[in-house]
Amino acid sequence: MKLSKKRVRHTKGMDITPMIDIVFLLLIFFITVSQVSETNREKLELPELKGAQDQKKTSLVVNINKAGEIIVAGNQLQLADVAFLVGKELETNGGDPGLVTVVVRIDHNATCQVPNALVKQLAGQGISKVRLAVQVPN
């Protein structure tokens, strides 16, 4: 007759599966956000300016290419559509135009007609913070 007892080990371990899931979700989130922020920037040849500052947080990025087409977030829009987008930004900021900042990126080969009309439209909506994007020379 065998009188040995089986020893059962009761150790409490930490389950790290939820933590790994959260890390992967955060990784996917940051990769997606970085790619979305790059879609707002069309490939344009910007004018160069020494001593320019890096771009700060903006509400809306408007691109104007060489042909004078207005492109926002990869979509070609008319001036009235941009006014509608700015109106939506104003609504989300409580109607305060001081909180809305628009960055206008203009190809250096473009004419001034479309940017001037855009700035007039923005001024008519009360937007005073309009920044013109430039490229810092190396």
User: Can you tell me which residue has the tokens 């977030």?
Assistant: 73
Which pTM was predicted?
A: 0.57
Inter-CA distances, 25 with 36, 39, 98, Å: 16, 21, 35
Provide the pLDDT for residue 20. Answer: 92
Mean pLDDT over each residue of the chain, to the nearest integer:
78
Inter-CA distances, 58 with 1, 13, 47, 49, 111, Å: 82, 47, 20, 20, 24
User: Can you tell me which residue has the tokens 């439209």?
Assistant: 121
The per-residue pLDDT for range 97-110, each reduced to its tens digit, is 777 888 888 887 88
Cβ-contact 131, 62 below 8 angstroms:
no
User: Letter for the amino acid at 26?
Assistant: L
Domains located in the chain, CATH noted: 42-132 (3.30.420.270)
- Order of strands, edge to edge, in the sheet holding 129-132? 75-77, 70-72, 60-64, 101-106, 129-132
Residue 51, pLDDT above cutoff 60: no
